[in-house]
Structure 1
Amino acid sequence: MRRFFQMACLSFILLSTSAGCTDFVEPNQLAFVIGTGIDDAGKDMLEISHQIALPSQLSGSSKGGSSGDSESFIVISAKGKNVFEANERVQRKLSRRLMTSHRTLIAISQEYIEHNNTNKLFDKLNRDPANNQRDNIVLVKGSAKDFMKIKHPLEQLSSIASNKELQINGMNNYSIRQFIIEHASEGARVLVPLLQIENNDGKGNEKGNLVQFAGHAVLNNELKIKGILDDNDGLEAIWMLGKGTFQGLTIPWKNGNGTLSFRLTHLERRIHSVNGNDPKQILLTVKAQAYLLDNTTPLDMSDVDNMIELKKYLDEKIQTDLQDTLNKVQQWGPDIFGIGEYLHRKHPYWWKSQRDDWDENFKKINVSVKADIQLRSTGTSAGQVE
């Protein structure tokens, strides 16, 4: 009995000393990074700019935007030879420990992409378990540091605003994780949204600055920009590579007689060989459900013949536009559509002779686009309201 009592006391002492979390950090000892900007600093150096939220100011406003004249965030920057060194120098400027697991966006300047080996940038983002890899990645025209400093009029932080803009415009799957997966695959290349700071034409109020989409950058296997698609072409490319969920579309009617505007939902795409045996003949089929929301043509949409004619015209117009965009990207070389990944699975022996120089070999593949749009609704009125 005495021995049992001694063992129980010893166990209690050991448990009481080992139960504490020696490395636990209170929330008020953390600096929550919401966005990170990466710029070229010259001489093989980069500059990291962290957008750090100030919780006390964020909770002070219930209407979005900054609370009064108080800042809802700060931006701290530092230079280094790589991401780790720059982060360490940022940490020395702070009284709290950097916390990046809540980050929503990483913005890389276009200049950095053009002048540096971007592959090295993603080693820490992929290797460090502190990075959740759910944060989205975008390119920025101009300075990523300036982008981090923007005060958005609707959202309190520009990083959160840009992240929401991607989602609300039907552009998903731009996370760091997806970026690394696409870059690691031999038969696919990366398409990244390109943002730019909109010039403020108002009364000089800094809070009126906005960030708008400037297109999408097509990157090759070395993560260099091979071309930039404008906003319309970029949305078409997103549809063809399977990342889009919905989008708006306005097309002119025949002979310029009015326009038709649609909301396209349930965007899909499928890649397959034309005859099943020839890897150089590929058919890319896109599907969607269309809802007619604006009609300035003389078409009476209560007429079944008009609906059939509209469906045929819509298919042909989308096929032509998407084919033009695909041909443009194909001339640049990078296969952002993942056709190489399909050929890797479908024709593995043929793929072995093509994969080492796929950016050039992709130019020789005959890829045709076919559209199959289902007209789900023509609205609550037949013709134009007069």
Structure 2
Amino acid sequence: MIRSVIAISASLLLIFFASGCTDFVEPNQLAFVLGTAFDHDEDGQIEISHQISIPSQINSSSKGSGSGESDGYIVMSAKGRDVLEASQKIQKKLSRRLLTNHRIIIAISEEFFSKNEVDKLFDELGRDPANNQRDITVMIKGKSAKDFLMTKHPLEHLSSIAAGKELHINGMKSYSTRQFIIDSIAEEHRAFVPVLQIQNTQVSRNKKDPMAVLSGYAVLNNKLKIGGILDDIEGSQTAWMSGKDGIRVLTIPWKDGKGNLSFRLTHLKREISSVSSKDPGQIVITVKAQAYLLENTTQLDMSEVSNLLEVQKHLNDQLREELQPTLKKVQNWGPDVFGIGAYLHRHYPSWWRTHKEDWDANFKQINVTIQANVGLRSVGATGGQIKRRK
């Protein structure tokens, strides 16, 4: 009996290993999509473009081939009634299977936001398990999203890789497609996306090349239409007040106007509270961080404790003065990207039930003030300025 069991088990193992995996795809049979673009089409369809890496050409393109034909990638486009139909049209043009698991960037053109219902993209992006949703969603200003994919970068092989690294190195880790979808369907807050713009950039003495650079942030309303676009500085400030990191380097003038102080900020946080437990209409946003003084062009000797305390107080006062107008600007547009509605929903559920309808309009009536609580952790390796001997 035991011999029979052993013989049957051995036979089953042989059959298992001999059969192999019939649906296994080798890496050289895959087309790795690193960037996807969505553009408006006048026929009412969606135009989708995929930036596909060609690993075999990356080495030659990095060495600078004389022909200039080896870019290390291709961009394939197609139109369809929805995302899947357009993607399948691209698939029919390729000899390899499309793989989107390693995608870095999803780029949506400004025109697409204005003329299409962006939420129609969410079903395929959320339903299809082939989409990892860790990729970053950005808006392309002024040009088509396809143009962004086809724009070269002086340091990276692909514009998608360059944009992903730029956003990551600047602390922008809260703009994944998954987070964008969550923000877009929530009642209590609105979506907030980075904006890239193709600009001619001086890359050598006699040469300017088009390059996609971070130029600001788009504030979206409850219908995912553009409520307004902030510049880079205002957008970083709004990101901090929204709890999505933000400013990394801050320069402020000293009180007498003679010299500046520049800080590196870490551990950025924000807290939302109400002035009174009985009045939900009075809200305070407190921004917090740790500051490290890296440059001092004033006459202050930072080895003196009194100067250190005075600088810390001035830093917090200056932050309040700079952040309050930016908050007011966004509030006048209407979309609540700060998450104040989420706070009110949790702490004042009865009040929220009567105000959640048309929250973009009701948000304008909330009195929101800014407080800053930034601690100065270091003044650098020297106290006063290094002075030249006369």
What TM-score does the superposition give when structure 1 sets the normalisation length?
A: 0.93
Describe the SS at the equivalent of 2:106: strand
Contact map agreement 1:246 1:266 (CA 8 A) in 2: no
Distance 1:17 1:377 in 2: 62
Which amino acid in structure 2 is aligned with residue 219 of structure 1? L
Aligned residue in 2 for 1:91: 91
Aligned residue in 2 for 1:41: 41
Instruction: Provide closer, same or farther for how the CA distance between residues 54 and 218 of structure 1 changes in structure 2, counting only shifts above 3 A.
Output: same
Contact map agreement 1:65 1:154 (CA 8 A) in 2: no
What TM-score does the superposition give when structure 2 sets the normalisation length?
A: 0.92
How many equivalent pairs are there? Answer: 384
Distance 2:277 2:64 in 1: 58
Which amino acid in structure 2 is aligned with residue 262 of structure 1? F
Deviation at 1:357, TM superposition (A): 1.0
Deviation at 1:126, TM superposition (A): 1.0
The range that moved more, 198-207 or 251-260, is 198-207
Instruction: Provide closer, same or farther for how the CA distance between residues 106 and 207 of structure 1 changes in structure 2, counting only shifts above 3 A.
Output: farther
Contact map agreement 1:65 1:156 (CA 8 A) in 2: no
Contact map agreement 2:236 2:247 (CA 8 A) in 1: no
Deviation at 1:19, TM superposition (A): 5.0
Aligned residue in 2 for 1:121: 121
Task: Report 1:2-21 matches (<5 A).
Answer: 4=4, 8=8, 12=12, 15-16=15-16, 19-21=19-21
Deviation string, structure 1 residues 261-299 (Cα, Å, up to 9, x no partner): 110111010111112232111111111111111111122
Segments of 5+ residues of structure 2 without an aligned counterpart are: none
Aligned residue in 2 for 1:191: 192
Task: Report 1:287-298 matches (<5 A).
Answer: 287-298=288-299
The range that moved more, 50-59 or 213-222, is 50-59
Deviation at 1:252, TM superposition (A): 1.2
Describe the SS at the equivalent of 2:173: coil
Deviation at 1:303, TM superposition (A): 2.1
When the two chains are superposed, the root-mean-square deviation of aligned CA atoms in Å is 2.5
Describe the SS at the equivalent of 1:359: helix
Contact map agreement 2:200 2:209 (CA 8 A) in 1: no
Aligned residue in 2 for 1:78: 78
Deviation at 1:58, TM superposition (A): 2.5
Describe the SS at the equivalent of 2:373: strand
Describe the SS at the equivalent of 2:341: helix
Deviation at 1:16, TM superposition (A): 3.7
Instruction: Provide closer, same or farther for how the CA distance between residues 200 and 314 of structure 1 changes in structure 2, counting only shifts above 3 A.
Output: closer
Instruction: Provide closer, same or farther for how the CA distance between residues 25 and 204 of structure 1 changes in structure 2, counting only shifts above 3 A.
Output: farther
Aligned residue in 2 for 1:321: 322
Aligned residue in 2 for 1:104: 104
Contact map agreement 1:31 1:99 (CA 8 A) in 2: yes
Which amino acid in structure 2 is aligned with residue 108 of structure 1? I
Task: Report 1:157-172 matches (<5 A).
Answer: 157-172=158-173
Contact map agreement 1:108 1:139 (CA 8 A) in 2: yes
Deviation string, structure 1 residues 284-331 (Cα, Å, up to 9, x no partner): 111111111111112221222221211111101101111111111100
Aligned residue in 1 for 2:22: 22
Aligned residue in 2 for 1:365: 366
Aligned residue in 2 for 1:281: 282
Aligned residue in 2 for 1:376: 377
Which amino acid in structure 1 is aligned with residue 107 of structure 2? A
Instruction: Provide closer, same or farther for how the CA distance between residues 6 and 371 of structure 1 changes in structure 2, counting only shifts above 3 A.
Output: closer
Instruction: Provide closer, same or farther for how the CA distance between residues 204 and 121 of structure 1 changes in structure 2, counting only shifts above 3 A.
Output: farther
Instruction: Provide closer, same or farther for how the CA distance between residues 65 and 309 of structure 1 changes in structure 2, counting only shifts above 3 A.
Output: farther
Distance 1:279 1:267 in 2: 25
Contact map agreement 2:172 2:245 (CA 8 A) in 1: yes
Instruction: Provide closer, same or farther for how the CA distance between residues 309 and 3 of structure 1 changes in structure 2, counting only shifts above 3 A.
Output: closer
Distance 2:350 2:63 in 1: 57
Task: Report 1:129-148 matches (<5 A).
Answer: 129-141=129-141, 142-148=143-149
